[in-house]
């Protein structure tokens, strides 16, 4: 049985646009096609030959290869990982990850302590968070001294309302205390109310 309805060019165009998922004008399609079909040449980073590519493909990558064979040859001939962008100037040649990590911890003790404290707060299920910059500013407000004994000692983060009792990890719930005052407050929290800063 023959179909009595004939499909016109308008129907074909409408169906084509529907299958594409969005309507794109003819002018836009021509612009995209001209941009990708333009004669754009660049040099291969391995064999140094000139090859044709598209501007969009060129802008996506930092290194360009004319074939997979050239890419594989480039990777194999790398002397060490220090020539890769991800490791350039970070790890020394022959240095293991553990040695690099230990050195990083020595160079950035405050950052490591902050990350450990944040992880502890997440494990306790505390809500809120604070940045390392906020913690440094809080210490400056207290003249880098303990908030209780006013001694100029190494400061630790003290949660005014402990995380174990539902305290938050916002900077408003933190005060700088030395290790001695911090341990006294934890051990005798209810018998030393003077160590507990009143929340606003």
Give the model confidence (pLDDT) of 155-187 as tens digits: 988 888 888 888 899 999 999 999 888 888 764
pLDDT recorded at residue 137: 92
What topology does CATH give the domain 109-195? 3.40.1800
**Alpha-helical runs (H) found in 4-131:** 9-20, 26-37, 55-60, 68-76, 97-107, 109-123
Give the model confidence (pLDDT) of 64-103 as tens digits: 899 988 887 887 676 655 555 455 556 666 666 677 788 8
15 vs 45 pLDDT, higher one: 45
Cα angle 120, 123, 127 (rounded to 5 degrees) comes to 90
Q: State the span(s) of the chain assigned CATH 3.40.1800.
A: 109-195
Cα angle 160, 165, 169 (rounded to 5 degrees) comes to 50
Q: Which SS3 state, helix, strand or coil, does residue 113 take? A: helix
Burial of 121 (0-12, 13-18, 19+ CB in 10 A): buried
């Amino acid at each position: 049985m023959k179909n009595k309805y004939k499909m016109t060019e308008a129907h074909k165009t409408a169906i084509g646009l529907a299958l594409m998922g969005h309507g794109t004008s003819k002018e836009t399609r021509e612009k995209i096609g001209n941009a990708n079909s333009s004669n754009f040449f660049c040099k291969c980073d391995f064999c140094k030959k000139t090859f044709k590519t598209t501007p969009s493909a060129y802008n996506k990558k930092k290194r360009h290869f004319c074939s997979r064979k050239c890419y594989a040859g480039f990777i194999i001939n790398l002397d060490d990982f220090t020539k890769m962008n991800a490791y350039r100037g970070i790890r020394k040649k022959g240095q293991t990850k553990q040695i690099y990590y230990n050195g990083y911890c020595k160079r950035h003790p405050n950052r490591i302590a902050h990350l450990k404290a944040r992880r502890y707060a997440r494990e306790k299920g505390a809500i809120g968070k604070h940045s390392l910059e906020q913690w440094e500013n809080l210490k400056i407000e207290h003249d880098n001294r303990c908030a209780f004994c006013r001694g100029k000692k190494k400061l630790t983060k003290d949660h005014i309302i402990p995380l174990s009792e539902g305290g938050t990890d916002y900077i408003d719930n933190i005060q700088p205390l030395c290790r001695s005052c911090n341990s006294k407050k934890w051990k005798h929290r209810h018998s030393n109310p003077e160590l507990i800063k009143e929340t606003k």
